[in-house]
Structure 1
Amino acid sequence: MGLGAGVVCAALGLAVILSPFGNEFERTQGLDWLFKTRGKATPPPGVAVVGINNRTGRMLDLARLPRDWPRSTHGMLVERLVARGADIIVFDMDFSRAKPGDEDADFARAITSADRVVLFEWLSAHRERLVSANGQDAGWTWVEEKRSPTPVLAEAASAIGPFPLPKIDQAATEFWTFKSSLGDNATIPALALQMKALPYYETWIALLGQAGASGLDALPATAEQLRSPDDIKALMQAFRGIFVNDPSLAERVGWRIDAQPDDKQRQLLAALATLYGGPDHYFLNFYGPPGSIPTIPYEDVLSDDRAPAPGTTDLAGTVVFIGYSDLFAPDQPDRFFTSFTGDDGVDLSGVEIMATAFSNLLTQGNVRPVALRTEIAIIVAFGLVAGLSGFLLPATAGVPTVIGLAVLYGVFAQWRFNETSVWLPLATPALVQMPCALLIGLIGQYRLKRHAEQQVTRAISMYLPENIVQDLTQREFDPSEVNKVVYGTCLATDMSGFTTLSETKKPEELAEFMNSYFDELATALKRHDVDITEFHADTIMCAWTSAEPSPEVCAKAVGAALDVCDAIERFAAQRGRLRLNPRIGLQDGYFYVGHTGGGGRMAYSILGDTANTAARLESLNKYLGTHVLAAETVLKTPDGLLVRPLGDILLSGKADATPVVEIIAKSATATDRQMALCSKFSTALTYFREKDWVTAEQLFETIRAEFGDDGPSQFYLSYIRGHKSSAPTFDGPAFVKMTEK
């Protein structure tokens, strides 16, 4: 069962991660948690953002919206950035609409002079209905359209590219490096990386040749031959094709890159190998809240009288990304929700995400989800261990163990993420499998405990009355509370001929025989709602109890006595020649029920004169040749029964005589012979009680002659003849005195 619990937890985890919902769940919950717990990380040096905010226009005495600014302003910005040593300048702005006059030309001259500017190419996508030649509806298709910068600007730029972001619920988590739907066009982060690595172009080509790459002859021999954005675009498409067609090339060239002595060169060439040999999209590794990548206000770069931001005076070797980035306005345009969106609602800007994507490529520090097979192995292992622990361990140990396991795994996953940016599944183990393991474990523990309690209850119920079992199992046990004096009717019975029977059977055979015998009798007793049943060797002592004297408990006992007689006769009949004489005694009154014993061993027993008298009445059957004898007080309402008063009998060990009656049968089944016997016996008993020994003897003799098998008549006849010489002289009715049990 414990293994089953583990399998259920593992299967549930697999169902989650393999479902369409699984990736989204891990992204929105697991990855989000990893980012927030890690907090802000240090971005690589050499990357900066020049941000336009809602104050920039006012500070520069320009219009509020950048689209209304003269393009010469951007040209001036390029000149300032070049002067401060910027290595690559990337604009995340739409320049597809021409400006009047010489504005575009002025901006183009600055771009051409800089020879390091990458411009943004707007990419839009939409669904479009298809119509067949005959005008019929042919379904839908997905259409992507590029909107390039104006021709004069496009011609001046070093490279042009799009920056599409998969946007899910206004959140950005991934970026493309190559857009397959555009013929493997490189996106801006990839373009910026290639531009950054151009100084090492000849070394790169040489390393590819050494690694056995094919198709290099068709490529430019030097970087100086790359004169236009189309040249860069074609070059990157060629490199991408070479690596895609030779999957092991990235590894082969990587060995040679590792041998390069210059750290900067080695970093850039390794990033290129990963770019061209890797997938076409990556998960973004955010460095923190907005502004984590050094951000310089646009106006600060252009204002001679404004002190530069700390650390931004020298931009030598820096790749600068320019776009709208307001660190304080929640309603800034081009914004994306991320794990670091704060309570103030300020999202990460598109240009900072662009800079983040470039930084990830440069350092190969993007978030890397583990392979699907590894994820499956983790989910299965965690589910099995958590499920087994939760089910097999006691709740006091299982709950902390499962929670501790989840915490330890979470700490490990967080450490791997912080140190290596490896993304292990977290939400599914923590939010799905751990609760599942706890729930299954607690339910399993409850069921096991419940089963154990039921087993104990069943075991106890074999030795104790049901009401006592309920007290023991349903509330705190206090032995003194089950000890009490109650009113009730006791029934005693034993097996005739037990001594002889025990001599003829082996111990195990005798035990099996007696258990069958007792089971038959106990079934009859249960039908009459017996409260307490004791078994001793071949005897049964049982009782029906109530708080006060009640005819109902007497009636139940009498009914049970008749059923027990039938059960004994039926039991004997099923075993052929076996002869068993039913002998039952009934007495009502007050008696003790509770624990008796010592030395730490107790038995639940019936004690008192009532029980003792019932046992004496049961023994009296042997002398009277009867089956069921009861004290007269038991039959307060003998309706429906044929009973025969047998007189007052002083039982052995008793101080007072007990009026005894014989319960012969139910009235509905009584025979005429039985009723005649009762009538004649009553007359004879009357003369006996009046001490008319002669008449009584004659009447009992007559009964014996007519009913030769009547035990009570034979008993009284023998008693009279044995006591004629010592007839009682006391006043009051005569009674029988028993000297034996």
Structure 2
Amino acid sequence: MKRHFHRAITIAFITFLLGSGIDYLTNLESTLGLDTLFQLRGVRPPPPEVVVVAMDETSETRLCMGQDLTRWRSFHAKLIQELHRQGAALVIFDLQFIAPHPDNDPAFAAAMQAAGNVLVTDCVQKLLRGVEDFYGRDECSESNQEPFVQKEGIQKQPLSDQLIVFRLIKSPLAQSALDHAPFYLTNDAENPTVREGWTFLNSLAEVPTLSVVTWLYYLQRSNALQGITQPNVLFSSWLTEQRRQCASDLYETKNSPAKSGLENRIGQLTCLGDSRYLDFYGPPQTLRMESYSNVYEGKVVDLKGKVVFVGKANRKFSPGKTDYFQTPFTDTHSGKMAGVEIMATQFANLLEGRFIESPFPPSLLLVMFGLLIGLLLAQFAGLSGIAATLMVSGVYVGLAVWSFNRSGLCLPIAVPLLIQLPVSWFISLLWSRRDLLNERKRILAFVRRVFPQWMPLPSSPGQWYPEKGVAQLTSERDVFGLCLATDIEGYTTVAAQHTPHEMWELLNAYYQVLGYPVSSHNGIIADVTGDAMMAVWINLPVSSQRLAACLAALEMELAVERFNEKSNIGRLPTRIGLHEGDMTLGSLDAGEGSHYRAIGDTVNTASRIQGVNKFLDTQILATATIAASLGNVIYRPVGIFRLVGRDEPLELIEIVGMEADASVSKHAIYKQFARGLSAFQEGRWEDAAADFQMSLDSHGYDGPTRFYLDLAVAYKKNEPLEWDGIVAFGQK
């Protein structure tokens, strides 16, 4: 358990550092992660109090405006009068009335004063890299594009590339409005997508933005500020003063039980941060949007109590570059969003008291996710661990989408899924590979220590032929011999339930039990790899080799059975396969070492034969040729099979036991099985099924009988097209 926790901590630490570093360099979470959450959530209903009056293409045509925004000035007075007549709560112009318009300004100012609920936008200019580069939503006006920072005594001198200067330009009409404030959005290649909205502009002496000012006026006019101290000055000035007090630590930023919830919200908005992530309601025109000309002509009649934002917004055609911005919902179909709609979105978020926020520090969430994934991968190895982490990651994504949809809480998903999860898998696979190599090293060390008579085989070819010196041997030699292959049934499941050290102790005892019958019957251990052992018999008469190998296999079966009964760590059921034929004894060079091995089809076939045991539910299988010299060893034919990777079929027998130990009932089972097998190989499925069923009913369970009964029933229903009596296996 301690080792698992150590690995989990390591995975969490590495993935956190890597994920945080990539996110810091690429803003992966605030771009891809946040945008994905918006796309998964989709559109949500905006507050009904918010209406955008769009100076759109239809209005341009009806009112004969064209692209010149100053020409709209002559219609604003009547628009305000119409909105005032209908009882609109507030009217906000997202337009910058910088250049004077003597013909229309008096009527416009009078309409604003009469309505008493109009707010206008101040212009913000941002100067970068000298006098050439102005960044503002409309650059205020051409007359304002003059250098506003000069070196002393030098005229028209370009500024330093690093110098960034802000300038606030108020409209001459601002004094006629209820209040005024800036609303600044970046519109350059470095910030292609708007995700945040400014609440205060610290670079402009802590000036609040227009959406915040509008929110406070709406609260005042809807009587939500009753019981809360209200200023005698404009809200824009009051908010600036409150912000400066926060900067001087004169204002309490924490929630106070003595204050109302709304009062605490105002305090937090004023003192905590200068921007908020916007909770967009959907693509452009998700907010209620009415055409300027329709409102102007009195065709829209349900604007009582609404907060109306007036500004430029195309509704039919692709918007131009000025004052249109990408949002998380922007695609080729939806297009960009107008600045006035972004302002209205920020006001709607303030109205709902809902922005995109993280419930915990993102770094803490990344550490917790990495730790959870690390614990799962440390507890469950291989594919089971990957499957467990995928399931947990799916639950986490579901929780992230649910919390985002319900309350705008943003949990990181891009860094956990795209960086932490695959990196954790990679680290876990490296650890698994290291554990496997260490386990093999321990097994080899054990074999060298406990069975020194085995080890000359892989290292010294002279031990294969003790009557000859090493100098007489070539690097390889072809011989005829018999190969015995073993494999532990369900080894992967057993290994997954124990630590490597526990498996070492288990295999340590297991191979001592398994190796003794081989050496006592003149066999040689050719290879030990994990859960498999290979033994060979060579340089003996063929009959002696066959008998010795079968006796060794039977003793191994009994020894493993006694081992499993006494083991308190785990059981290791063992399958055995025997095959004889030509082999090559050769030295394999691996790096700086050289290992002597038995190589050839005989070795591979022996391994394939032992694998047939799991289908027949037997323990010892051999090719039929081995039965020629078995003496008092009992065996029974179990059929002809075409093994994986071999075209030539093999007739197999089951090595059952010694003649002296066999009972009469066993002979009856084998006799009944032989009749059924004969009928099966002749294609008489019904007779074969009857014989096999009778054997099971009379003598109880028998693995080969059960196997052939199921196969006969299946073939009776769906007979093979060409039957030659050979059973083919499609897998190992």
What TM-score results when the alignment is normalised by the length of structure 2? 0.57
Which whole-Å deviations, capped at 9, do the CAs of 1:331-357 have from their partners, x for residues lacking one?
344211112113415122111110011
Structure 1 residues 454 and 587: CA distance shift in structure 2, 3 A: closer
Q: 1:232 to 1:185 in 2, by over 3 A?
A: same
**C-alpha separation between the residues in 2 aligned to 1:42 and 1:379?**
31
CA contact 1:53–1:325 (8 Å) conserved in 2: yes
Q: CA–CA distance in 2 between the matches of 1:79 and 1:353?
A: 25
Question: Residues 431, 115 of structure 1: CA spacing in aligned structure 2 closer, same or farther, 3 A cutoff?
Answer: same
> What whole-Å deviation, never above 9, does each CA across 1:264-286 have from its counterpart, x for those lacking one?
xxx6x565344324322111111
Shift of 1:189: 0.4
Report the CA distance shift for 1:383/1:195 in structure 2 as closer, same or farther (over 3 A): same
Cα RMSD of the aligned pairs, angstroms, is 4.0
Amino acid at match of 2:82: R
Q: Which deviations, in whole Å up to 9, do the C-alpha atoms of 1:295-345 show, x marking residues without a partner?
A: 1111211234x5x4xxxx322221111112224433344211112113415
Distance in 2 separating the partners of 1:408 and 1:276: 37
- Shift, 1:141, TM fit: 2.1
Q: 2: CA distance between counterparts of 1:53 and 1:533?
A: 100
| Bigger shift: residues 283-292 or 445-454 | 445-454
Query: Does residue 251 of the first structure (1) align with residue 238 of the second (2)?
Result: no
Question: Quick one: which amino acid aligns to residue 85 of structure 1?
Answer: G
User: Structure 1 residues 381, 356: CA separation in 2 closer, same or farther (over 3 Å shift)?
Assistant: same
Q: How far does residue 119 in structure 1 lie from its aligned partner after superposition?
A: 0.9
Residues in 2 aligned to 1:64 and 1:429: alpha-carbon distance in whole angstroms = 50
1:430 aligns with 2:417: yes
Report the secondary structure of 1:326's partner residue.
coil
Equivalent position of 1:381 in the other structure: 368
Residue 392 of structure 1, CA deviation: 3.4
Return 5+ residue gaps in structure 1 as ranges: 209-215, 221-225, 259-266, 463-510, 535-541, 550-585, 609-741
State the distance in 2 between where 1:545 and 1:180 align: 83
Instruction: Report the equivalent of 1:601.
Output: 556
Q: 1:172: how far off?
A: 0.4
Q: Could you tell me which residue of structure 1 aligns to residue 355 of structure 2?
A: 366
Residue in structure 2 matched with residue 282 of structure 1 by the alignment: 276
Please say if residues 593 and 605 of structure 1, whose CA atoms lie closer than 8 Å, have aligned partners that are also in contact. no
Alpha carbons of 1:126 and 1:531: their partners in 2 closer, same or farther (altered >3 Å)? farther
Match of 1:158 among 174, 178, 185: 178
Structure 1 runs of 4+ off > 6 angstroms? Answer: 134-138, 542-545, 586-592, 602-608
1:282-681 matches, cutoff 5 A: 282-304=276-298, 306=299, 308=300, 313-332=301-320, 333-372=322-361, 375-449=362-436, 451-452=438-439, 526-528=459-461, 531=464, 546-547=477-478, 595-597=549-551, 598-599=553-554, 601=556
Give the direction of change, closer, same or farther, for the CA distance of 1:292–1:528 in structure 2 (3 Å limit).
same
1:421 and 1:52 mapped to 2: Cα distance?
31
Task: Find the aligned partners of 1:607 and 1:543 in 2 and give their Cα distance.
Answer: 23
Contact 2:9 2:374 in 1 (8 A): yes
**How many Å separate the matches in 1 of 2:356 and 2:124?**
25
* AA at the equivalent of 1:380: V
Q: Deviations over 1:590-612 (max 9, x none)?
A: 7876743243727999999xxxx
AA at the equivalent of 2:295: V
Q: Is the 8 A contact 2:87 2:304 kept in 1?
A: yes
Selected match of 2:15 from 12, 17, 24: 12
Query: Corresponding residue for 1:67?
Result: 69
Displacement of 1:166: 4.7
Question: Which residue of the partner structure matches residue 192 of structure 2?
Answer: 170
Q: What does residue 198 of structure 1 align with? A: 220
**2: CA distance, partners of 1:43 / 1:524:** 80
- Cα–Cα, structure 1 residues 405 and 334, in superposed 2: closer, same or farther, change >3 Å? same
d(CA) in 2 for partners of 1:198, 1:587? 105
CA change 1:169–1:342 in 2 (3 A) is same
Q: Is the 8 A contact 1:330 1:345 kept in 2?
A: no
Residues 128, 98 of structure 1: alpha-carbon distance in 2 compared, 3 angstrom cutoff: same
What secondary structure sits across from 2:180 in the alignment? strand
* Offset of residue 546 of structure 1: 4.3
1:547 CA drift (Å): 4.1
Alignment of 1:91-170 (within 5 A): 91-99=93-101, 101-127=102-128, 139=160, 140-149=162-171, 151=172, 153-166=173-186, 168-170=190-192
Partner of 1:574: none
The 2-side partners of 1:202 and 1:366 are apart by 20
The structure whose Rg is larger is 1
**Residues 52, 325 of structure 1: 8 Å contact kept:** yes
The structure-2 alpha-carbon separation of the partners of 1:543 and 1:437, relative to structure 1 and needing over 3 Å to count, comes to same
| Structure 2 gaps, min length 5 | 131-148, 468-472, 481-537, 558-575, 582-732
Cα separation, 1, equivalents of 2:383 and 2:223: 65
1:156 counterpart letter in structure 2: S
Aligned letter for 2:307?
V
Alpha carbons of 1:592 and 1:246: their partners in 2 closer, same or farther (altered >3 Å)? farther
Shift of 1:367: 1.0
Is the contact between residue 186 and residue 237 of structure 1 (CA under 8 Å) also seen in structure 2?
Answer: yes
Letter in 2 for 1:63: M
What amino acid does structure 2 have at the position aligned with 1:181?
S
Q: Matches of 1:159 and 1:533 in 2, distance apart? A: 107
Cα deviation per residue 1:401-452 (whole Å; 9 max; x = unaligned)?
1111111111112222222212222211111111112222233334434554
CA contact (8 A) 2:15 2:424 kept: no
Indicate conservation of the 8 Å contact 1:179/1:187, yes or no. yes
Equivalent residues of 1:123, 1:145 under 8 A apart: yes
Distance 1:169 1:55, change over 3 A: same
User: 1:77 maps to what in 2?
Assistant: 79
Output the CA distance in 2 between the equivalents of 1:370 and 1:45.
27
Mark the CA change 1:104 to 1:592 in structure 2 (over 3 Å): closer, same or farther.
farther
Identify if the C-alpha distance between structure 1 residues 346 and 384 changes in structure 2 by more than 3 Å, giving closer, same or farther: same
Q: Which moved more, 1:354-363 or 1:269-278?
A: 269-278
| Alpha carbons 2:377, 2:428 under 8 Å: kept | yes
Q: Deviations over 1:615-653 (max 9, x none)?
A: xxxxxxxxxxxxxxxxxxxxxxxxxxxxxxxxxxxxxxx
Residue aligned with 1:169, SS: coil
What is the aligned residue count? 471
Aligned-pair distance for 1:248?
Answer: 3.0
Distance 1:385 1:91, change over 3 A: same
- Determine if contact 2:8/2:372 at 8 Å carries over to the other structure: no
Normalising to structure 1: TM-score of the pair?
A: 0.56
Residue aligned with 1:596, SS: helix
Q: Secondary structure at the match of 1:601?
A: helix
Cα drift, residue 196 of structure 1: 1.6
Give distance in 1, aligned partners of 2:413 and 2:295: 43
Letter in 1 for 2:87: G
Tell me the SS of whatever aligns to 1:321. strand
Aligned-partner Cα distance in 2 for 1:457–1:415: 54
Whether the 8 Å CA contact 2:199–2:208 is kept in 1: the answer is: yes
Distance change >3 Å, CA 43–CA 600, structure 1 → 2 = farther
> Does structure 1 conserve the Cα–Cα contact (< 8 Å) formed by 2:354 and 2:408?
yes
Deviations 1:517-547 (A, max 9, x none): x58xx7599544655899xxxxxxx999844
2:57–2:315 contact (8 Å) kept in structure 1: no
Q: Distance in 2 between matches of 1:604 and 1:353?
A: 76
